[in-house]
């Protein structure tokens, strides 16, 4: 059995048939996981200033760029193993660099609250065995964590949920869009306006505290009734919710206080985003947006977005991420003005403008290690295909020696 | 043809709100080949309700220009297969939606991926190619 | 799910009998059970029926690979989420330690498995819709958000 690195569910029941050093067939993984493990058509090659090179020279050049930079930054890590992430944090420390990951503009805020134990949470196995009321809030798990409902929440039989989902569980979707997940929650889909999450939470807080909610009264009272009766409830908080309430997580905490049987789980996309958050949290007390200078400084201005927008880095190492693809066009303009070092298995938009490119193995397929599932469980990754690509951990080790 | 020309001469602007989302088929295309036609086809698109399309005189398959304070991009318009109440248009996260998303965050590091104000109008131009969206990228 | 009426509404409704069926409704029934093909209705080939013909073909085409029992997986719509694997009562009964609790099937007695990111059906004779005490079960259809499973 192999672990899938398609998303942060890290499904560890995958069968892979390998023939002549290539994946021939993948069983049990969803469409998303299958595409991730089968990999891309355009593998990255080592290059310096867009001219083909060899790995050794590329690593030397990368070290030179990072050493001579005044304010270097390391970014990415959500698609790296825990071992590589720890190396990356070590490298940032040695360089007195800034370090951030994709959680900075994703679920970092909620994961931080979970690690600070401000939210009640539980494992996915607890959810499967015990949960009777499941709320997908601003989360389309069907498309982003496709096996979430079938492995851990709505559909499977659990220790205290033996009779099947129609009788034992209620799935609820709160979203601005009738997503694929919302379609499954038919009858319990609450459509809210854009940015309407906060108002919805406040109305729900009213209803749960015995007041008449001012907003959509009938539906809110009905929902509050379902939530009050829950024996073991789950709020699967998606980025729809996070983006909408932003730093105002207080309303979510208040809602949590009124629902003592509920557990909050941030829905994570990239397979090891939570791993990075946990590693950095262990070492610094923060989940992202850190600058090392002998000490540790954590400020919003060290987020990848603010750094690029304010042009406050003069060398950027990107590992397992593609900021040119995933960040607003106006923000990423600065990337073409500074030397970028790109470590990735594949050619990316960012690698096309990079000063140095260093190809690495596809983790969980061509290299092993560990990763942290969205609920905090540590899962082993395996190497299923033998080839010459170095793991990102090895590349970071070599960079560490060279700087 | 005469009728089509008429559509362009008028080509009024409409104000819309766009929110981004993720789609498993587009993610699959991304993992396979982010420079490929499939990824472009599934990314360079905006989906709206039938009633919204009707109000704007647009039909599925039309190319439209989306313009915000941050940028401008040409994509294909699609009619939602869902029963949408209207009022919100949808785009998947990609360089095409990122072209019109503001970098303004109030210093908090998170862009407004879910709430984009833009103008939409019928466009004659081709869908904006990826290379044009990415500063400094060679084809 | 596709119905006879949906198909009938797209036919010329002239009962011309050119297809060999006595009425357009009879032809619609034959289309739904995949006994007849759209081009066998020759009036549909005329230009003024182009839109209706395309719509009919779009409705019927992907089902070309129907199992003899009538179960069709539209693989192009399937996300491989496995909801059907876990929700199917036959899978639950035949694999209580695997499919029933959300894990990958642990034996070959299940109806649904996911291969290459898409669901594949086998052991269809086990399906509750067939056999002596058949019931009209929707356990694999209801949990599918993309409409990838259909019985014809």
CA distance B5 to chain A (A): 32
A184 touches chain C (CB under 8 A): yes
Q: Distance (Å, rounded) from C-alpha A114 to C-alpha A144?
A: 21
Q: Distance (Å, rounded) from C-alpha A179 to C-alpha A384?
A: 34
CB pairs under 8 A between B and C: 3
Q: Of C13, C3, C141, which Cα lies nearest the Cα of C77?
A: C141
> Which residues of A fall within a CB distance of 8 Å from B34?
40, 322, 325, 346, 348-349
Q: From first to last of its 403 residues, what are the pLDDT tens digits of chain A?
A: 999 999 999 999 999 999 998 999 999 999 999 999 999 999 999 999 999 999 999 999 999 999 999 999 999 999 999 999 999 999 999 999 999 999 999 999 999 999 999 999 999 999 999 999 999 999 999 999 999 999 999 999 999 999 989 899 999 999 999 999 999 998 899 999 999 999 999 999 999 999 999 888 999 999 999 999 999 999 999 999 999 988 788 899 999 999 999 999 999 999 999 999 999 999 999 999 999 999 999 999 999 999 999 999 999 999 999 999 999 999 999 999 999 999 999 999 999 999 999 999 999 999 999 999 999 999 999 999 999 999 999 999 999 999 9
Q: Distance (Å, rounded) from C-alpha A202 to C-alpha A206?
A: 6
Domain boundaries, chain A: 40-106+271-366+389-402, 109-266
Q: Which two tokens stand for residue C144?
A: 């599918």
Domain boundaries, chain C: 4-63, 71-151
Ramachandran class of B62: left when φ > 0, alpha when ψ lies in -120 to 50, beta otherwise: beta
DSSP-derived 3-state class of residue C120: strand
C18 neighbors C26 (Cβ within 8 angstroms)? no
pLDDT tens per residue, range C109-137: 999 999 999 999 999 888 988 877 788 88
Q: Which residue in B33, B94, B137 is closest to A41 by CB distance? A: B33
C43 touches chain A (CB under 8 A): no
Q: Helical H runs in A39-145? A: 55-68, 82-95, 108-115, 124-130, 141-144
> Which residues of B fall within a CB distance of 8 Å from C79?
24-25
Are the beta carbons of A305 and B135 separated by less than 8 Å?
Answer: no
CA distance C28 to chain A (A): 29
Q: Distance (Å, rounded) from C-alpha A49 to C-alpha A47?
A: 6
pTM of the full structure: 0.89
A40 touches chain B (CB under 8 A): yes
Q: Which CATH architecture has domain A40-106+271-366+389-402?
A: 3-Layer(aba) Sandwich (3.40)
Are the beta carbons of B22 and A50 separated by less than 8 Å?
Answer: no
- Which whole-number Å values give the CA distances from A312 to A65, A72, A176, A316, C104, in the listed order? 16, 9, 36, 10, 48
Are the beta carbons of B31 and A35 separated by less than 8 Å?
Answer: yes
CATH of C4-63, one of 1.10.15.40, 2.30.29.30, 3.30.60.50, 3.20.20.70: 1.10.15.40
Fold held by B2-127: Barwin-like endoglucanases (2.40.40)
Among A23, A142, A271, A330, the strongest candidate for a mutation testing the B interface, having the largest count of B CBs within 10 A, is A330
Whole-number percent of chain C with pLDDT over 70: 93
A194 touches chain B (CB under 8 A): yes
A147 neighbors A9 (Cβ within 8 angstroms)? yes
pLDDT tens per residue, range C35-79: 788 889 999 988 888 888 888 887 775 544 555 567 889 999 999
> Which residues of B fall within a CB distance of 8 Å from C117?
28
pLDDT tens per residue, range A286-314: 999 999 999 999 999 999 999 999 999 99
**Partner chains of B (3+ C-beta pairs under 8 Å):** A, C
C76 touches chain A (CB under 8 A): no
**Partner chains of C (3+ C-beta pairs under 8 Å):** A, B
> Which residues of A fall within a CB distance of 8 Å from B85?
191
CATH of A109-266, one of 1.10.630.10, 3.40.50.1100, 3.40.228.10, 1.10.150.120: 3.40.228.10
> Which residues of A fall within a CB distance of 8 Å from C146?
180
Segment (H or E) for A287: none
Going by pLDDT thresholds of 50, 70 and 90, the confidence category of residue B139 is: low
pLDDT tens per residue, range A8-43: 999 999 999 999 989 999 999 999 999 999 999 999
Among A6, A39, A150, A157, the strongest candidate for a mutation testing the C interface, having the largest count of C CBs within 10 A, is A150
A367 neighbors A361 (Cβ within 8 angstroms)? yes
Residue B5 has pLDDT above 70, yes or no: no
CA distance B78 to chain C (A): 17
> Which residues of A fall within a CB distance of 8 Å from C87?
150, 155, 164-165
Chain C CA closest to residue A149:
C83
């Amino acid at each position: 059995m192999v672990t899938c690195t398609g998303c942060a569910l890290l499904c560890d029941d995958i069968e892979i048939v390998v023939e002549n050093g290539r994946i021939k067939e993948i069983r049990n993984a969803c469409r998303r996981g299958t595409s991730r493990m089968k990999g891309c058509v355009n593998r990255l090659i080592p290059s310096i200033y867009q001219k083909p090179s060899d790995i050794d020279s590329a690593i030397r050049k990368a070290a030179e760029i990072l050493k001579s930079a005044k304010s270097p930054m390391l970014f990415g890590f959500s698609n790296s193993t825990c071992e590589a992430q720890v190396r990356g944090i070590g490298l940032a420390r040695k360089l007195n660099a800034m370090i951030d990951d994709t959680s900075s503009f994703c679920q970092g805020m909620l994961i931080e609250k979970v690690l600070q134990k401000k939210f009640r949470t539980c494992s996915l196995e607890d959810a499967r065995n015990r949960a009777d009321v499941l709320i997908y809030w601003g989360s389309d798990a069907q498309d982003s964590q496709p096996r979430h409902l079938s492995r851990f929440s709505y559909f499977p039989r659990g220790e205290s949920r033996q009779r099947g989902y129609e009788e034992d569980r209620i799935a609820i979707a709160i979203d601005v869009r009738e997503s694929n997940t919302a379609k499954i929650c038919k009858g319990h889909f609450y459509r809210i306006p854009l940015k309407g999450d906060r108002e919805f939470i406040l109305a729900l807080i009213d209803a749960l505290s015995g007041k008449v909610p001012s907003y959509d009264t009938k539906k809110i009272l009905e929902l509050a009734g379902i939530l009050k009766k829950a024996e073991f409830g789950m709020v699967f908080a998606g980025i729809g919710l996070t983006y909408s309430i932003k730093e105002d997580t207080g309303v979510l905490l208040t809602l949590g206080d009124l629902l003592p049987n509920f557990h909050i789980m941030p829905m994570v996309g990239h397979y090891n985003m939570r791993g990075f958050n946990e590693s950095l949290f262990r070492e610094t007390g923060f989940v992202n947006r850190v600058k090392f200078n002998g000490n540790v400084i954590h400020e919003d201005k060290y987020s990848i977005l603010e750094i690029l927008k304010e042009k406050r880095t003069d060398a950027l190492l990107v590992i397992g991420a593609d900021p040119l693809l995933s960040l607003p066009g106006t923000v990423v303009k600065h990337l073409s003005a500074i030397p970028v070092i790109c470590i990735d298995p594949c050619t990316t938009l960012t690698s096309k403008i990079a000063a140095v490119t260093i190809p690495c193995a596809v983790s969980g397929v061509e290299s092993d290690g560990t990763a942290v599932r969205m609920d905090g469980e540590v899962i082993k990754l395996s190497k299923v295909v033998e080839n010459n690509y170095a793991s990102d951990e090895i590349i970071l080790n070599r960079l560490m020696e060279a700087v | 043809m005469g009728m089509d020309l008429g559509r362009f001469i008028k080509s009024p602007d409409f104000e819309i709100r766009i929110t981004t989302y993720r789609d498993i088929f587009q993610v699959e295309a991304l993992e396979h080949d982010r420079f490929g036609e499939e990824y472009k086809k599934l990314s360079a698109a905006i989906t709206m309700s039938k009633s919204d399309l009707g109000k704007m005189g647009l039909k599925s398959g039309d190319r439209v220009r989306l313009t915000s304070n941050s940028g401008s991009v040409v994509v294909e318009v699609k009619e939602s297969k869902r029963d949408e109440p209207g009022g919100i248009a949808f785009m998947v996260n990609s360089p095409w939606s990122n072209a019109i998303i503001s970098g303004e965050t109030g210093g908090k590091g998170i862009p407004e991926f879910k709430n984009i104000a833009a103008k939409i109008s019928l466009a004659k131009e081709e869908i904006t190619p990826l290379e044009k969206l990415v500063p400094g990228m060679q084809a | 799910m596709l119905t006879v009426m949906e198909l009938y509404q797209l036919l010329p409704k002239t009962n011309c009998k050119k297809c060999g069926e006595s009425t357009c409704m009879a032809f619609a029934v034959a289309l739904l059970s995949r006994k007849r093909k759209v081009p066998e209705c020759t009036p549909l080939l005329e230009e003024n029926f182009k839109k209706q013909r395309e719509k009919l073909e779009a409705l019927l085409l992907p089902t070309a690979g129907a199992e003899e029992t009538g179960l069709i997986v539209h693989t192009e719509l399937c996300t491989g989420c496995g909801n059907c694997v876990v929700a199917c009562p036959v899978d639950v009964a035949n694999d209580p330690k695997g499919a029933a609790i959300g894990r990958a099937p642990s034996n070959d007695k299940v109806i649904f498995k996911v291969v290459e990111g898409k669901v594949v059906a086998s052991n269809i004779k086990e399906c509750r819709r067939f056999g002596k005490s058949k019931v009209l079960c929707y356990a694999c259809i209801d949990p599918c958000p993309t409409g990838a499973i259909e019985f014809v």
